Every structure is written in structure tokens, then in C-alpha cells.
A and B are shown apart, each in its own frame.
Chain A
Amino acid sequence: MKKKLLAILLTTAMVCSLTACGGDSAGSTADTGSNTAADTNAAAPADTNAAAPADNAADTNAAAPADNAGGSGSLTGTLNLGVIGPLTGPAALYGNAVDNGAAIAVEEINALSSDFKIELNSQDDEHDAEKSVNAYNNLKDWGAQAIVGCVTTTPCVAVSSEAYSDRMFMLTPSASATSVTEGKDNMFQLCFSDPNQGSASATYISENNLAEKVAVIYNNSDAYSTGIYQTFQAEADSIGLDVVSVTTFTDDTANDFSVQLTEAQNAEADLIFLPIYYTPASLIMQQAASMNYAPTMFGVDGMDGILSLEGFDTSLAEGVMLLTPFSADAKDDATVSFVSKYQAKAGEIPSQFAADAYDCAYAIYAALSYYADNNGGYNVDGVDYTELCEILISVFSDSNFSVDGITGAGMTWTANGEVNKAPRAVVIENGEYVGL
């Protein structure tokens, strides 16, 4: 009898707890999940006679679209913008960088005018497809109208197909695989796609004569790393770059690289291409230094952030080159202001992920302003995400629409969601990223 009672009690408890969550999750996330200083209740009145706030944006901020200056309509209302990324777990550095970067952009946009505000809500996905879909559904409950995310590739593939069937617009700051955008017209990338990174790296190495013999160490249990390696190898073969050693590791064996390094050393490689994330890369540098083996290390955007890794001796990263669209030491006003704001907020130099997220928020803002300009004003209050999705798709695939951001000037998008911008190589000197 007692057991049966307990069973009934547990089932009811389960059912109750489930329904309870259904009811109040929207309210509670809105309270705690937002990082912005914006006050939603003070949503601006739809004042069509406002002195074109979009004009101010173009004047004061480099990230606003160039052709926004002659605005005829104004953008009003409050946009609910969701961010999905790994705020905890092994890839948390990227997620938090994106979260902070987007928050800074939103603060700036909210300060531009009293008519248009963005409310930000960041949800954690732990770099896992299942959790990421959960986070996405959570944001839908909250009332998200567009998504900046996901930060990492695998979750992004899962969420983008959900978003595709729901008709929710997504702009990812950093999920670089082609499978993210493939066949989904609602999904746009602000970062380079993997094929671009791999082939651009090979071209850069060969054009600048950085090495005679190249070794590659990549993570064959990781989609990002494998994707870049494959295009790197294909490009290297076609331009005649001599790849003398290709070795792999997996997430489970990412503690010791002496075998891979010895092989590279025996093959007399003078450059090691590392299409991997910064944590294993930092170990490779440490172990190479202890072996007295000092080739040039060449990384891609996953290497970005290595200098803010805790407990890492940054002198080991001296001379490391990486291909990234953003360098924090650039002297233009937009970058300087972003870097100082980011340092005040997070206490570290922003990585490329933070800059990408910053640009993502501005790109969405610019797209909405562009639409408002061409259609005599637009109010985003209470607009269904499906409607907003079609608008944003049409603007982003419009060839006249371009965004000047801190990760590239004149960014445009192709209809299949990939971005066009120039890659930039940076080298680490005296513990800082310096543009080449």
C-alpha cells in the first residue's frame, strides 16, 4: 500500500513539476536571462516623426550599413533577440565571448535611440545538439524573434533545421561548417565557412613562402577540425604545398602530443598547421617547446583565445600565426571602442568570437534599419518571428545590403547564407595579437 502510494505521489509530482515549468519558464527566463540594461516596459512609442535615429547610427557607428544614411523611415519597437551558445562546459570560452560581444552591441544599439530597443536572452547549450534544441525551444517560449547562434557547429546544424521548419531567422557568429547553411534559406553565417578557412590557409602559407614542409595535426573526432583539414589538404595538393606529415588525435587523447610532434620533427616540417581549438594547441606548443622543436605554428579561428587561456604561458605562443577576421590591436575607432568596452566588461582582450557576435547584433540591426528605410518605417513590436524571418532573409540576400563591422568592411551575404569578407592573418607578438 505504502509503495503504491509513493508511486502515485511520484507520478503526480512529476506531472505537476512538468506543467509548472510549462507555465512560468517564459517569465522567469525573461527576468534572469537578459544581460541588457534595456527596460522592455519602457518600449518606445511608435513615433514616425522621429528625427531618423538610423541616420545618427550611420554617423556615429562604423557598423551601420553604408547606404543607410539617406533614411526615410524609422525603426521602432523592441526586438527579442536570442543567443544560443555553450556558456558552460569545454567550449564555454566561445559561448561567453559571444554572449559578452552581443551584449555590448545591444547596449550600444539601445543607447542610439529611444525608439528601438533590443532585449537579449542568452541560453546555454553545453556544446551539445540535444541541449541546444532545448535552449532554442526555451527561447521560443520566451518570445524570441530572431536568433544569434549557435556558437558551435554541431548544435547549430541541429537547431538550424528546427529553425528552418519553424521559419525563425538565425545568424551564427561562428558555426563555420557548410552543413550549417546547406539547404536552409533562413540560416546565415558571419564567419568564414570551413572550406574557406582551409583553402585560405593553404594559399596564405604558400603565397607568403612561410614553409618548405608542412605538418598537420588535427582532431579527427571533431567536425570543425576535420572539415578544415580536408579542404586544406585538397588546396595544398592543387597548389603544390608539401605536406610531409599528417597526424591526428581525438578528444580522449588530447593530453599527449609527443608522438605527433616527433613525427613532424622527423619529417623536418618547418611549419605545423593546427586546425584545432586552442586548448590542445596550447599543449602542443608546450610539448614542442620542451622538445626544443620550434616550427612556425599556424592556426585558424579556433586558435583565437589562446592568450586568455588560464595558466598558459603566453611566451610559448610567441610567433604563432592565425587566420582570423578580427584583430584586437586594429586602430580604427570601432575596434578600439569595442575592445575597451569588452575589457571593462569581461576583463580580457576580446577574441574573434566576441567580435563576430558584436557584428551579428549590428548586422541584424542594420538589416532591420535597411528594411525600415525602404518601407517607410517599421515597428518590430509583437511581430511574429516567421514574418521577421522573411524580411531578414530578403534583406540579407539583397546584394545592395552590406555591413561594415569590426570583423570586415563591406560584408555581404550570398543567398545560400555564406558571408563575403577578406580574411586577415595575425601573429602573436609580446603576448598580443598583431595584424600582418
Chain B
Amino acid sequence: MKKISKSARSSFINYGIVLIFFLFFQIMLSTGKLSNSLSGQLIPICTYVIMALALNLVVGISGELSLGHAGFMSVGAFSGVVVATALKDVITVSPIRLILAIVIGAVLAAVAGTIIGIPVLRLQGDYLAIVTLAFGEIIKNVLNCLYIGADSKGLHFSMKDGNSLNMETGGTVIINGPQGALGIQKISTFAAAIILVLIVLFIIQNLVNSRAGRAIKAIRDNRIAAESCGLNIMKYKMMAFVLSAAIAGAAGALYALNYSTVVPKKFDFNTSILVLVFVVLGGIGNLRGSMIAAAILTVLPELLRQFQDYRMLVYAIVLILVMIITNNSKAKDLLGRVGAKIFKKSAVQKG
């Protein structure tokens, strides 16, 4: 056991947490103990966990602030929907279609990430944040006027309106501008979502602990020193950014295929900030923390339904309290002491 490094142990704990989460809810589901409310949220939880991991790669590991990750999510979401709907008759096995949709969603989001990353990653700090924010909005607005239809001849695209797709009768409009994608066949499953979380964790953790990952962190910690050591700054920054965009795209495809409709408006600035909140509250650079924060903060608004109209107010207060407590050394000490006391007490009782 001694030979396992600290980082490897931490990685395995992360896989363990995800697997325990999966087993726990799978058992609850199969025994019918789980409420409808919670069982309907399992896939969104996984999606937001993946989004938080993706953003943590950029914000925490690579040290760049991105405010446009919902944009990549929407690229993945809509391309995933197009793939899944267009192949409905060709591939009837839905898990294969889901995998294809997620892969293509990830690839197209990576393409978008590359296009955006090349000019944007030459900027730093606040400038980068603002430009990514702008790109996120651009993606949303482009999708708002994108019309895609499918008929026997293949896919039709238009930027004008649904009528100018020139489809033969019987063709279906897959993406209808601001009305988004309608009539999506729901093929996302909880098991698939968990597998995707595990794959994403595997990719990110292995990247972070690799030579490239160390280079990315070196650039984050001191750009000039890293550059003087001969590291190609642009290459490593792009690596983190594009990978993160691809993961966000995969999350988007998973998310969209869990609902029968998805609109471009969903992936606006607010969603980007929501994911950023997960990352910041969970700990910048802390994968496990952001996973747990994403899961809890996704479920929290539903738990607060009893507060009715005040629930988003309560949600905000909870966020502020968590922020204060996790950043206040006195509060942390107090929590630590209380925790130690409880721990000691139970130890004494056991002894």
C-alpha cells in the first residue's frame, strides 16, 4: 500500500465516491425507495458534476477564468440531439446512439473550443474572462437562429427560418431556432451518466498527474518561469481549454438527451455562472470538492421547495454562508474543533 502515491490514492477515492453514489441510488431506485423528485434529478446531477469537472480543468488546473462554458455545453447538446434524431431509424439500439451523440457532441464542442481558444487564450485574466463570456453569448445567439431539418435526402440547414429548409414532405425539423429542439427521444440513462463521469474523472486525473499536466500547472503558477524553461505556453493552455470544451460538450449531449426539449436560452450566462459557483464553492483546483458541490447545489433548490417563493432567496443565503464558512479560518477552526470533539467522544464510547 505504501507504494501508491498520494495523488493516485486521491484519484481512487474519487472513483470510489462516484461508484458508491451510483450503487446507493441504483439500489434505492430498484427497491422503489427513491422519490420521483430525486430520481428525476440523477442525470442532471451527473451532468453538472461533469460540467464542474470540465470547468475546474480550466479555472483550477490551468488557472484561466472562463465564463462561457455553457456555450460549449450547448454546442454539444444540439449536435448530440441532431445526431441522435437523424440516426433514429439507422441505429435502433439507443445506447449506441447515445455514445455516438456524446462523442460527436464532444468533438464539435472541441472544434468550437479550438476556434475560440486560438485568439482568446492569448489574453489573460479579466480580459480572457470577458471574451469567453462574449463567445458564450455568441454561440447562444447563433443557435437561436439555426434551423436544422432532416429528411430522406439528409440534413438541411438554414439561418433564416424553418420554412426555408426546403425539405420534402415528411421531413422533421430537428432544431427550430429559438424554439430549440423539440420531440427529442430520451435516451440518456443514469448508468451511462455515471460511466461518463468516471471516464471524465479518469481523463482529467491522468492529465493532471502527467507531464503535460505538470506543465499546465507550472504555467498557472508562474507563466514567465515556465516560458523560460522552454514550455510552449499556447500549446498547454490550448490542451486544457479544448479538452475542457470537449467534456462540456459531452455533458451537454447527455443533458439534452434527458429532456424532450432543449432551448438555446437555457445555456446562457446564468448557466455558466452556476457551474462556476460549483467550482468556486467546491474549491478551485479541487476535483472532489467541485463534484460534491455540484451534486449538493443541484439538489438544494428542490429541497428548499417548502420555502415556496422564498426558496431562491434561501438558496442564495446558503451559498453566502458556505462561502463565508469555507473561507474564514476562525469558522473552520470552530468546525474542526466540534468535529474533533464528536470524533473523540465516539472514540471514547467505543473504547
Residues of A within 8 A of B (CB): 2, 4-7, 9-11, 14-15, 17-19, 21-23, 25-26, 28-29, 31-33, 87-88, 123-124, 126, 128-131, 133-134, 136-138, 140-141, 154, 157-158, 160-162, 177, 179, 182-183, 219-223, 225-227, 230, 250-252
For B35, B161, B186, B263, the residue with the greatest tally of chain A CB atoms inside 10 Å of its CB is: B35
User: Could you say which residues of chain A place their CB within 8 Å of the CB of B38?
Assistant: 18, 21-22, 137
Task: Please determine whether A221 and B37 come into contact, CB atoms closer than 8 angstroms.
Answer: no
Question: Taking the complex as formed, is B324 at the interface, i.e. its CB lies under 8 A from any CB of chain A?
Answer: no
Cross-interface CB contact of A25 among B137, B145, B178, B305, cutoff 8 Å: B305
Cross-interface CB contact of A137 among B24, B36, B288, B343, cutoff 8 Å: B36
Interface 1/0 per residue, B295-310 and A, CB below 8 Å = 1100101110110110
User: Which residues of B (231-273) have their CB < 8 Å from a CB of A?
Assistant: 259-266
Docked CA distance A25–B40 (Å):
14
Question: Taking the complex as formed, is B180 at the interface, i.e. its CB lies under 8 A from any CB of chain A?
Answer: yes
Q: State the total of A-B contacts with C-beta under 8 angstroms.
A: 154
Known: A220-B178, A222-B178. Is A21-B37 also a contact (CB below 8 A)?
A: yes
Task: Please determine whether B37 and A154 come into contact, CB atoms closer than 8 angstroms.
Answer: no
Cross-interface CB contact of A129 among B177, B266, B292, cutoff 8 Å: B266
Task: Please determine whether A22 and B35 come into contact, CB atoms closer than 8 angstroms.
Answer: yes
Cross-interface CB contact of B339 among A5, A160, A162, A223, cutoff 8 Å: A5
User: Could you say which residues of chain A place their CB within 8 Å of the CB of B40?
Assistant: 133-134, 136-137, 162
Task: Please determine whether A18 and B299 come into contact, CB atoms closer than 8 angstroms.
Answer: yes
Question: Taking the complex as formed, is B199 at the interface, i.e. its CB lies under 8 A from any CB of chain A?
Answer: no
Question: Taking the complex as formed, is B311 at the interface, i.e. its CB lies under 8 A from any CB of chain A?
Answer: yes
Task: Please determine whether B37 and A134 come into contact, CB atoms closer than 8 angstroms.
Answer: yes
Question: Taking the complex as formed, is B171 at the interface, i.e. its CB lies under 8 A from any CB of chain A?
Answer: no
Question: Can you spell out 29 A-B residue pairs with CB atoms less than 8 angstroms apart?
Answer: A5-B343, A10-B292, A11-B21, A11-B292, A18-B38, A21-B38, A21-B303, A22-B37, A25-B35, A25-B303, A31-B306, A87-B308, A87-B309, A128-B266, A129-B266, A134-B37, A137-B38, A138-B37, A141-B36, A154-B261, A157-B260, A158-B261, A162-B40, A179-B179, A182-B183, A219-B178, A221-B178, A222-B178, A222-B265
Docked CA distance A32–B141 (Å):
40
Quote the shortest CB–CB distance from B84 to chain A (angstroms): 15
Task: Give 10 nearest A-B pairs by CB, closest first.
Answer: A161-B260, A223-B179, A137-B40, A137-B36, A157-B261, A22-B35, A140-B36, A137-B37, A28-B306, A138-B37
User: Which residues of B (298-336) have their CB < 8 Å from a CB of A?
Assistant: 299, 301-303, 305-306, 308-309, 311-312, 336
User: Could you say which residues of chain B place their CB within 8 Å of the CB of A18?
Assistant: 38, 299
User: Could you say which residues of chain B place their CB within 8 Å of the CB of A182?
Assistant: 183
User: Could you say which residues of chain A place their CB within 8 Å of the CB of B37?
Assistant: 21-22, 25, 134, 137-138, 140-141
Question: Taking the complex as formed, is B20 at the interface, i.e. its CB lies under 8 A from any CB of chain A?
Answer: yes
Question: Taking the complex as formed, is B71 at the interface, i.e. its CB lies under 8 A from any CB of chain A?
Answer: no
Cross-interface CB contact of A88 among B20, B141, B309, cutoff 8 Å: B309
Docked CA distance A23–B177 (Å):
41
Task: Please determine whether A123 and B305 come into contact, CB atoms closer than 8 angstroms.
Answer: yes
Docked CA distance A20–B36 (Å):
14
Docked CA distance A251–B36 (Å):
33
Task: Please determine whether B179 and A133 come into contact, CB atoms closer than 8 angstroms.
Answer: no
Question: Taking the complex as formed, is B5 at the interface, i.e. its CB lies under 8 A from any CB of chain A?
Answer: no
Quote the shortest CB–CB distance from A166 to chain B (angstroms): 9
User: Could you say which residues of chain A place their CB within 8 Å of the CB of B180?
Assistant: 154, 223
Docked CA distance A425–B68 (Å):
44
Docked CA distance A219–B301 (Å):
30
Task: Please determine whether A129 and B259 come into contact, CB atoms closer than 8 angstroms.
Answer: yes
Quote the shortest CB–CB distance from B29 to chain A (angstroms): 11
Question: Taking the complex as formed, is B162 at the interface, i.e. its CB lies under 8 A from any CB of chain A?
Answer: yes
Instruction: Look across to chain B and name the residue whose beta carbon is closest to the beta carbon of A227.
Output: B179
Task: Please determine whether A14 and B306 come into contact, CB atoms closer than 8 angstroms.
Answer: no
Question: Taking the complex as formed, is B191 at the interface, i.e. its CB lies under 8 A from any CB of chain A?
Answer: no
Docked CA distance A177–B183 (Å):
13
Docked CA distance A405–B266 (Å):
35
Docked CA distance A18–B260 (Å):
26
Instruction: Look across to chain B and name the residue whose beta carbon is closest to the beta carbon of A220.
Output: B178
Quote the shortest CB–CB distance from A102 to chain B (angstroms): 15
Cross-interface CB contact of A17 among B28, B141, B299, B336, cutoff 8 Å: B299
User: Could you say which residues of chain B place their CB within 8 Å of the CB of A183?
Assistant: 183
Known: A21-B303, A26-B35. Is A133-B259 also a contact (CB below 8 A)?
A: yes
For A14, A133, A134, A252, the residue with the greatest tally of chain B CB atoms inside 10 Å of its CB is: A134
User: Could you say which residues of chain B place their CB within 8 Å of the CB of A29?
Assistant: 305-306
Quote the shortest CB–CB distance from A203 to chain B (angstroms): 20
Task: Please determine whether A130 and B339 come into contact, CB atoms closer than 8 angstroms.
Answer: no
User: Could you say which residues of chain A place their CB within 8 Å of the CB of B303?
Assistant: 17, 21, 25
Question: Taking the complex as formed, is B33 at the interface, i.e. its CB lies under 8 A from any CB of chain A?
Answer: yes
Docked CA distance A222–B262 (Å):
13
Instruction: Look across to chain A and name the residue whose beta carbon is closest to the beta carbon of B145.
Output: A220
Docked CA distance A424–B177 (Å):
30
Docked CA distance A21–B28 (Å):
13
Task: Please determine whether B265 and A221 come into contact, CB atoms closer than 8 angstroms.
Answer: yes
Quote the shortest CB–CB distance from B344 to chain A (angstroms): 12
User: Could you say which residues of chain B place their CB within 8 Å of the CB of A131?
Assistant: 301
Cross-interface CB contact of A220 among B36, B144, B309, cutoff 8 Å: B144
Docked CA distance A124–B311 (Å):
10
User: Could you say which residues of chain B place their CB within 8 Å of the CB of A17?
Assistant: 296, 299, 303
Quote the shortest CB–CB distance from A149 to chain B (angstroms): 15
